[in-house]
Structure 1
């Protein structure tokens, strides 16, 4: 037996709109003032990832870099079994060899190194490609939803998915979390998840509109509430399943996919309500501006 959610989702949506607008404004300010904390994938320089056999104090690493004169614009992140050094400039082969030799000699003889280098031209190309990927995905979704449903559904769905993507970007900017290629993969995955959940609700709205006698805005609102109620259990089960998997990756996964997992968790939490409280009420607002149809066409497809 299907559980029925007796709740006015449309009425409650204003609180979620306010919350999203506040986070968006904070995100815009943070992006304008601080920008994003680009990793080596999007910022020229060298990233040295070191697997260590013991805990290493940060000041020891700083001392080694000072001796090698490699202490300019360096960001050091330490962990229990890994250590990361990000240089804003590209290390030469000679500098890499000196760093490895000095680290093995003075800090940890069993340490192993992985060095990734991106030159300025490649960094710019990766940034542009990431933007193109998101834009192309968005345009494709608009065309698909417009053909399958109507333009109001398309606008509402694109706003919802861009909302989810921008919320993740805002959080990463506010807390200066590192943005790399895995972050872009996470954003594209979140967009795919968001549109999938939104289309399920929109498909139910379209189905219910075929048999609804819509004469007033309240009737439209009832259709949206009924449609969301009918798909709510499915939405909750889906988001909890995916969220549990993302949390497991975040807690037990390696450091190389930590930002991917974190972006997924953040995006899933925002996406959990965007289809219900952002996309559906927005469609209702757009549909409410449409001129009323005659009684014989009240059952026509929306």
Structure 2
């Protein structure tokens, strides 16, 4: 197997308290973001806040900047506008948030704005879709439930495969990763959409994979080498043994996501950003969060791991 680092002996465990401090600070932002989302104070997409999405095309060319300015002049400052490639030219997607349940009325208002701002360039409506605020709140509850189910599933899976302590450590690490990514997106004032929730669930799976690989190596080394060294040194040796694999896997995945971030367009821009942040944080947490949790628990309540 390809290795970019060979026979490293880095004292990761010795730096765990610095990592705990950094993670603790960043998790505060994540908790604030979660509370803001729960209270509806965050920048929520139309999936959660409710809104209308209109697709159509102009007969003559229109710059996207002109269209944004036109919408802003008429009270739609937060309108999301994207140029789409379709069979017909000058095709746009216009998405606005609203607290009004009548999606059709909002669409008619937008069409009125376009007719007023571009009187000599007719806009042809192709499709109208929307989500009422009440449906958006239902989707919020379902998204929170999906994350909760994922965390419970992780706990049960690791508990069955390894040990209850490993299960708790993996679950806390995954929650840590989700909160950190959520907190950073909140700081960057990114819109929280269903696509972001999808990215967070994907991140949970990726983070778990990294953690499982490391936990598997720790378990094997505890069987073979624990008598030769302490619990901490065994964990540290295990981290160093999988370090090369972790870096190669994370770097490869990150590069693919970075390309998607650059060329994927505005629709998947935040999705790719969330996953890139998740790759970095997930790699960091499997080394500096998951394993130290096991170590601290063992020191407070020693147990012979199988």
TM range (shorter): 0.7 to 0.9
The one of 82, 86, 93 equivalent to 2:104 is 93
Matched, 1:203 2:212: no
| Partner residue in 2 for 1:28 | 31
Matched, 1:161 2:170: no
Aligned equivalents of 2:231 and 2:273: distance in 1? 37
Contact 2:82 2:266 in 1 (8 A): no
Seen in structure 2, the aligned counterparts of structure 1 residues 234 and 164 have a Cα distance that, compared at 3 Å, is: same
Please show how residues 159-198 of structure 1 align to structure 2 within 5 Å: 159-198=172-211
The one of 50, 56, 61 equivalent to 2:71 is 61
Report the TM-score, using the length of structure 1 for normalisation: 0.84
Structure 2 gap ranges (5+) = 85-91
Aligned equivalents of 1:111 and 1:17: distance in 2? 56
Secondary structure of the structure 2 residue equivalent to 1:258: helix
Report the TM-score, using the length of structure 2 for normalisation: 0.83
Seen in structure 2, the aligned counterparts of structure 1 residues 114 and 250 have a Cα distance that, compared at 3 Å, is: farther
The one of 260, 266, 273 equivalent to 2:271 is 260
* Residue 253 of structure 1, CA deviation: 0.6
Contact 1:47 1:86 in 2 (8 A): yes
Matched, 1:282 2:293: yes
Aligned equivalents of 2:110 and 2:94: distance in 1? 13
Contact 1:36 1:172 in 2 (8 A): no
Aligned equivalents of 2:33 and 2:207: distance in 1? 24
Aligned equivalents of 1:270 and 1:88: distance in 2? 34
Aligned equivalents of 2:274 and 2:179: distance in 1? 11
Seen in structure 2, the aligned counterparts of structure 1 residues 95 and 119 have a Cα distance that, compared at 3 Å, is: closer
Structure 1 gap ranges (5+) = 66-70, 294-300
| Partner residue in 2 for 1:46 | 52
Seen in structure 2, the aligned counterparts of structure 1 residues 196 and 181 have a Cα distance that, compared at 3 Å, is: same
